[in-house]
Amino acid sequence: MSDTFTTTSRTTRFRFRIRNWELSLGVAMLGIIVIAGLFAPLLAPYPPNQIDILHSLQAPSFSHLMGTDFVGRDVFSRVLYGVRIDVFVVALITYAGLVIGVIIGTVAGYFGGWLDAIIGRVTDTVVSFPFIVLVLAVVAIVGPGLKGVAIGIVLVGWALYSRLARSEMLAMREQPFMLATRALGYSTPRAIFRHALPNLVRSSLVYSTVDVVVNMLVLAGMSYLGLGQQAPGADLGSIIASGQGYLLTAWWITTIPGTVLVLFGIGVSMIGDGLTRGELSMATV
């Protein structure tokens, strides 16, 4: 009576893991950076703000792995604490934007009509607004510091996720399994959050890997300009700024945190590529 019962999933998932070296390498790079930040209080050989004028501007050595800055603070310790605060803030603001944007976009796409029109115009406005200018405006209102920068980035960041989720929802709305949720008499929240959302969140997650890098650079940039992390607090942008005057004599103060920033960006991008590729191979294998 019943046609033969087979399964193919195990092999599919196995291949997905093994073949995806980009994903693995990206996860490894990001993992090291995140763990270093997470355990900064245990790993840092010196307190990040401890001044030691006698040993200022020392080149990297065994006692100061990344050298010291112009007041003798240990750059390695400061980078660890800087990574700690930056990674935390970037993850928070990026995924706050993602959650807000995906929910708004999904709801707009599901209901359509005037609600969609209003949300659509608001997203257009936000997206067309110069990003940095808006962040600067929020900083001007809230005052310099990571809080102002974070609020500014979230205020803009949700809009692209909203667009992405909306367009996916528009296509998904006509899918038979979404029609089925109505035919089965499911409530609208159940249809949206249990059936539509899990199926459209993937593209937003992939996009968030680009967004994380952009936000990291904006955050570091704002701190570099003195609008983000305030002295003496350590953050990658402020450490780079503090070493700018000594670039020719003490290259390590700017170069090392800059390299960490680059490695962070590459690691996250590789995860993004790996996820996209994984999606393709999942679909074709």
Partner 1 sequence: MNASPDTLPLLRVTQAVKQFVLRRTLGDRVARRPGVLHTAVDHVSFELGSGEVLGLAGGSGSGKTTLARMLIRLVEPDDGQIMFGDSDVRAASGHALREIRRQMQMVFQDPYSSLNPRMRIGAAIFEAGKVHHQPGVDDEAAFVARVLDLVRLPASAARRFPQELSGGQRQRVAIARALAVGPKVLIADEAVSALDVSIQTQLLNLFLDLRDELGLSIIFVAHQLSVIAEVADRVAIMHEGKIVEIGPTAEVFHRPQHDYTRSLLAAHPSHTAPTPRGGSV
> Which residue ranges make up the site for partner 1 (CB under 8 A)?
1-9, 175-177, 179-180, 182-187, 190, 194-195, 198-199
Q: How far is the CB of 279 from partner 1 (least distance, A)?
A: 13
- Nearer to partner 1 by Cβ, of 4 and 128: the residue is 4
Q: What single-letter DSSP state applies at residue 2?
A: P
Within 10 A of 2 (CB to CB), how many other CB atoms are there? 4
Q: How far is the CB of 8 from partner 1 (least distance, A)?
A: 6
Q: How far is the CB of 187 from partner 1 (least distance, A)?
A: 8
**CA 278/CA 45 separation, integer angstroms:** 40
**CA 162/CA 189 separation, integer angstroms:** 18
- Nearer to partner 1 by Cβ, of 17 and 190: the residue is 190
Q: How far is the CB of 199 from partner 1 (least distance, A)?
A: 6
**CA 20/CA 210 separation, integer angstroms:** 19
Four-residue CA torsion sign, 124, 126, 132, 137:
positive
- Nearer to partner 1 by Cβ, of 199 and 276: the residue is 199
**Token pair belonging to 138:** 């929020």
Report whether 4 contacts 274 (CB < 8 A): no
Q: How far is the CB of 173 from partner 1 (least distance, A)?
A: 12
Q: How far is the CB of 183 from partner 1 (least distance, A)?
A: 5
Please report which residue ranges of the chain form alpha helices under DSSP H: 9-19, 21-38, 40-43, 75-111, 113-128, 131-142, 146-173, 176-183, 188-189, 197-224, 236-243, 252-284
- Nearer to partner 1 by Cβ, of 8 and 128: the residue is 8
Can you tell me whether residue 194 is helix, strand or coil?
Answer: helix
**CA 108/CA 122 separation, integer angstroms:** 12
**CA 228/CA 139 separation, integer angstroms:** 8
- Nearer to partner 1 by Cβ, of 113 and 198: the residue is 198
Within 10 A of 248 (CB to CB), how many other CB atoms are there? 6
- Nearer to partner 1 by Cβ, of 59 and 179: the residue is 179
- Nearer to partner 1 by Cβ, of 6 and 128: the residue is 6
